[in-house]
């Protein structure tokens, strides 16, 4: 921390991504090596050469029925009025399904059509057509025929064809070896003890799993310290036995980002910086025959860069086409501004509401792993585009199967911990269901229902006039919609303070007098509206509150903030205090209800949701948390359209 800092002198390139990929591929001398595997263990591998059948299937003329094998010509005169008799082992032999039809026999008669006179004599009344009920040699597979071209990806049924033709080993493409080198003094392994300023090394493990999925062989190197000499030794060793080396991170252009200089010294650098957001600080180079890729440390940048640059190399070695993601046309729910001059990769939530796919952007920060986890798809905005206005249509690449998006219940509104539990419960009742929830606050939830972007909104809005919850807001904002308010639960709101309540906060006055650092919620959140009401009741304004402008988007975020600061205080629900080990001083019992469109409420999905809510298992889980009372079989309140 005491290092002296120089002003930065190195600037990153703004190379178009596709140009960087093409240039990299042109420099990549893909070494396609062959590995021979047992066919039975070749699932998911790619053939390095065409494969020909070693043997026919069947490899003999096989009976397709239980019956007798005959010489067809000898049966031609058989007739109901003139049955002919055949002698066993001379004129016929018994065969079961799968048995050989020995020469000179050339037809099979089903046992049902045979009249057995004695042990050795039978009678037939119909002629046999030559080759009837026989599976001839090679009916399925002919010896020497090409079963699969090179480049074929082996599926279970293919293994059947290989074994059936006695092709017991196959030449597959050896998986390209990708060595992953995590670097950084601040990194510790996930299981280790951790202190402030330290970061868990998880990118490397994520890389390894992606590479495995794409068909490469990942080698995850232990963490390397920020020591140029140490990295040099590790890098030179990795180059010897890898097709690709990925270094994470140190790919930027800061005074301590020496990776680019090292690659330049040991080999060459093609690219330093691509015109993307996120993901810009990428290094692509080559040492000996090995491609070296330096990717940024922020998770989202890192995973996107891996997909852009490492995946094509793997498929180049495998010589199979890169899988493409399904595309979907969506309506953009909120304005999205593009990063002019750079390709912009926006992680999107997609809801299927009223027959329309509505997509909204997730947080854009490159450090927010959960934005990728939660994404239903990604919107790529080209460098020349200004972005999208609300209501415009855009094409997104899907991260989930379309069916999953279609099945999702979109729940936009206030945050309550039970919504997640409800999602889990619903999956138990109906496994293809899912609740996709966004925490934007009660008022924004009402607006989402108004705009047709959500099926459900969790809301807890106290009307300062009537001191009633929710109904007056619905009447005010949703006069043009048919909606249903489903009374969900009552919960306790209260002051969240550090364990032991060091400032001895009991009321809003205490917060002001004892200069508590207040942790607020975002505008439109029911909790914020409650706090504002309490403020007004005391005749105070926002300026009296330290931290009034510091906004958090969930109860847990408020609680996490309070936990880290002895002077802090927040307003939130009991379970959040409980989860973070804080003290809780109750302020209000509030109604947290579910607002739904009438159409959704009456749909099968809506019924499934109510079933999950009213299940004994769910009630038990929710009330077991503390601070909650769940309404039993409440009467839903219908709001009709005002003309």
Q: Is 236 helix (H, G, I), strand (E, B) or coil?
A: helix
Residue 370 phi/psi, 5° resolution? -65, -20
Give yes or no for residue 550 binding its own copies (CB under 8 A).
Answer: yes
Q: Which of 159, 181, 282, 332 binds its own copies (CB under 8 A)?
A: 159
Give yes or no for residue 417 binding its own copies (CB under 8 A).
Answer: yes
Give yes or no for residue 391 binding its own copies (CB under 8 A).
Answer: no
Q: Measured from the CB atom, is 450 or 550 closer to its own copies? A: 550
State the number of CA atoms in the 13 A half-sphere of 120 facing the CB. Answer: 3
Q: Measured from the CB atom, is 546 or 637 closer to its own copies? A: 546
Indicate left, alpha or beta for 119 from its phi (over 0: left) and psi (-120 to 50: alpha).
Answer: alpha
Beta carbons within 8 Å of 220's beta carbon, 6+ residues apart = 180, 182, 204, 205, 207, 208
Q: Which of 19, 33, 237, 254 binds its own copies (CB under 8 A)?
A: 254
Stretch that binds its own copies, among 131-139, 275-283, 467-475, 481-489 (CB under 8 A): 131-139
DSSP conformation letters of 243-300: SEEEEES--S-STT--HHHHHHHHSEEEEE-BSEES----EEEEETTEEEEEE-SSHH
Q: Which of residues 442-481 bind its own copies (CB under 8 A)?
A: none
Give yes or no for residue 138 binding its own copies (CB under 8 A).
Answer: yes
Q: Measured from the CB atom, is 140 or 532 closer to its own copies? A: 140
Stretch that binds its own copies, among 14-22, 51-59, 331-339, 506-514 (CB under 8 A): 51-59
Binding flags for its own copies, 54-83, as an x/- string (CB under 8 A): -xxxxxxxx-x-x-----------------
Q: Which of 31, 79, 123, 130 binds its own copies (CB under 8 A)?
A: 130
User: Measured from the CB of residue 161, what is the shortest distance to its own copies in angstroms?
Assistant: 5
Q: Which of 77, 390, 424, 507 binds its own copies (CB under 8 A)?
A: 424
Strand-pair category, 483-497 with 628-630: antiparallel
Q: Which of 147, 330, 462, 508 binds its own copies (CB under 8 A)?
A: 147
Cα 275 to Cα 207, 305, 341, 366, 477: the distances in Å are 22, 12, 7, 15, 43
Q: Which of 219, 232, 427, 490 binds its own copies (CB under 8 A)?
A: 427
Stretch that binds its own copies, among 9-17, 140-148, 329-337, 493-501 (CB under 8 A): 140-148
Name the nearest CA neighbour of 334 among 295, 371, 363. 363
Give yes or no for residue 370 binding its own copies (CB under 8 A).
Answer: yes
Interatomic CA distance for residues 608 and 605, integer angstroms:
5
User: Measured from the CB of residue 482, what is the shortest distance to its own copies in angstroms?
Assistant: 30
Binding flags for its own copies, 490-519, as an x/- string (CB under 8 A): ------------------------------
Exposed/middle/buried for 393, CB within 10 Å: 0-12, 13-18, 19+?
Answer: exposed
The answer to whether the Cα torsion of 624, 628, 629, 635 is positive or negative is negative
Exposed/middle/buried for 65, CB within 10 Å: 0-12, 13-18, 19+?
Answer: buried
Binding flags for its own copies, 598-617, as an x/- string (CB under 8 A): --------------------
Q: Measured from the CB atom, is 418 or 597 closer to its own copies? A: 418
Give yes or no for residue 5 binding its own copies (CB under 8 A).
Answer: yes
Give yes or no for residue 258 binding its own copies (CB under 8 A).
Answer: no
CB contact at 8 A, 116 and 74:
no
CB contact at 8 A, 95 and 122:
no
Q: Which of 237, 288, 432, 475 binds its own copies (CB under 8 A)?
A: 432
Q: Which of 10, 34, 117, 199 binds its own copies (CB under 8 A)?
A: 199
Residue 364 phi/psi, 5° resolution? -90, -10
Name the nearest CA neighbour of 608 among 437, 417, 425, 446. 425
The DSSP symbol for 545 reads S
Interatomic CA distance for residues 630 and 636, integer angstroms:
14
Size of interface with its own copies, in residues (CB under 8 A) = 125
Alpha-helical (H) ranges within 507-587 are 508-513, 526-537, 555-563, 574-580
Q: Which of 15, 133, 135, 286 binds its own copies (CB under 8 A)?
A: 135
Stretch that binds its own copies, among 15-23, 337-345, 414-422, 603-611 (CB under 8 A): 414-422
Give yes or no for residue 368 binding its own copies (CB under 8 A).
Answer: yes
Give yes or no for residue 197 binding its own copies (CB under 8 A).
Answer: yes
Q: Which of residues 82-101 bind its own copies (CB under 8 A)?
A: 93-96, 98-100
Alpha-helical (H) ranges within 374-441 are 402-407, 417-429
Binding flags for its own copies, 166-185, as an x/- string (CB under 8 A): x-x-----------------
Q: Which of residues 259-298 bind its own copies (CB under 8 A)?
A: 297
Residue given tokens 């809801």 in the structure block: 351
Q: Which of 74, 91, 158, 510 binds its own copies (CB under 8 A)?
A: 158
Give yes or no for residue 373 binding its own copies (CB under 8 A).
Answer: yes
User: Measured from the CB of residue 67, what is the shortest distance to its own copies in angstroms?
Assistant: 8
The DSSP symbol for 152 reads P
Give yes or no for residue 244 binding its own copies (CB under 8 A).
Answer: no
Beta carbons within 8 Å of 117's beta carbon, 6+ residues apart = 85, 123
Q: Measured from the CB atom, is 41 or 507 closer to its own copies? A: 41
Q: Which of 290, 527, 557, 597 binds its own copies (CB under 8 A)?
A: 557
Name the nearest CA neighbour of 415 among 578, 528, 299, 541. 528
CB contact at 8 A, 574 and 416:
no
Give yes or no for residue 212 binding its own copies (CB under 8 A).
Answer: yes
Q: Measured from the CB atom, is 6 or 633 closer to its own copies? A: 6
Q: Measured from the CB atom, is 390 or 565 closer to its own copies? A: 565
């Amino acid at each position: 921390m005491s290092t002296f800092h120089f002003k930065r002198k190195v600037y990153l390139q703004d190379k178009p991504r596709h140009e960087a990929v093409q240039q990299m591929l042109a420099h990549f001398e893909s070494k396609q090596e062959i590995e021979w595997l047992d066919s039975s263990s070749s699932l998911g591998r790619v053939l390095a050469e065409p494969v020909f059948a070693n043997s026919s299937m069947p490899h003999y003329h096989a009976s397709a029925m239980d019956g007798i094998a005959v010489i067809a010509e000898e049966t031609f005169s058989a007739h109901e009025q003139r049955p002919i008799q055949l002698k066993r082992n001379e004129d016929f032999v018994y065969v079961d399904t799968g048995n050989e039809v020995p020469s000179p026999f050339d037809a099979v008669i089903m046992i049902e059509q045979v009249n057995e006179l004695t042990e050795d004599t039978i009678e037939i009344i119909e002629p046999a057509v030559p080759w009837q009920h026989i599976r001839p040699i090679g009916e399925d597979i002919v010896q020497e025929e090409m079963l699969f071209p090179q480049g074929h990806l082996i599926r279970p049924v293919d293994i059947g064809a290989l074994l059936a033709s006695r092709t017991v080993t196959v030449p597959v493409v050896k998986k390209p070896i990708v060595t992953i080198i995590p670097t950084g003094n601040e990194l510790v392994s996930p299981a280790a003890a951790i202190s402030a300023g330290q970061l868990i090394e998880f990118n490397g493990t994520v890389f390894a799993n992606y590479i495995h999925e794409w068909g490469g062989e990942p080698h995850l190197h232990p963490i390397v310290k920020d020591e140029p000499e140490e990295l040099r030794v590790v890098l030179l060793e990795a180059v010897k036995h890898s097709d690709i080396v990925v270094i994470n991170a140190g790919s930027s252009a800061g005074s301590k980002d020496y990776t680019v200089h090292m690659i330049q010294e040991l080999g060459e650098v093609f690219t330093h910086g691509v015109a993307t957001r996120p993901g810009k600080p990428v290094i692509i180079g080559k040492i000996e025959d090995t491609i070296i890729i330096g990717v940024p440390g922020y998770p989202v940048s890192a995973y996107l860069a891996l997909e852009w640059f490492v995946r094509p190399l793997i498929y180049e070695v495998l010589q199979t086409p890169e899988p493409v993601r399904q595309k979907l046309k969506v309506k953009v729910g909120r304005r999205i501004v593009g990063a002019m001059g750079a390709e912009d990769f926006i992680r999107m939530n997609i809801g299927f509401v009223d027959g329309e796919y509505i997509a909204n952007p997730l947080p854009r920060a490159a450090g927010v792993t959960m934005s990728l986890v939660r994404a239903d798809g990604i919107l790529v905005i080209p460098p020349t585009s200004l972005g999208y206005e609300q209501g415009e249509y855009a094409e997104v690449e899907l991260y989930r199967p379309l069916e999953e998006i279609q099945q999702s219940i979109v729940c936009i509104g206030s945050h309550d911990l039970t919504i997640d539990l409800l999602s889990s419960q619903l999956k138990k009742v109906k496994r293809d269901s899912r609740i996709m929830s966004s925490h934007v606050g009660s008022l924004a939830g009402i607006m989402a229902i108004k705009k047709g972007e959500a099926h459900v909104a969790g809301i807890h809005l106290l009307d300062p006039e009537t001191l009633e919850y929710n109904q007056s807001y619905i009447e005010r904002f949703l006069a043009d919609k048919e909606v249903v308010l489903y009374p969900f639960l009552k919960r306790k709101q209260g002051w969240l303070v550090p364990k032991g309540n060091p400032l001895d906060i009991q009321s809003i006055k205490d917060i002001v007098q004892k200069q508590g650092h207040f942790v607020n919620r975002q505008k439109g959140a029911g909790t914020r509206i409650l706090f504002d009401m309490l403020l007004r009741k005391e005749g105070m304004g926002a300026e009296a509150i330290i931290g009034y402008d510091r906004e958090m988007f969930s109860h847990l975020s408020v609680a996490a903030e309070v936990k880290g600061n002895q002077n802090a205080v927040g307003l939130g629900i009991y379970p959040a205090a409980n989860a973070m080990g804080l003290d809780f001083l109750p302020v209000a019992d509030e109604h947290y209800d579910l607002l739904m469109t009438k159409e959704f409420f009456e749909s099968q999905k809506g019924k499934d949701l109510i079933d999950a809510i009213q299940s004994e298992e769910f009630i038990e889980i929710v009330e077991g948390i503390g601070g909650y009372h769940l309404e039993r079989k409440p009467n839903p309140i219908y709001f009709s359209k005002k003309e």
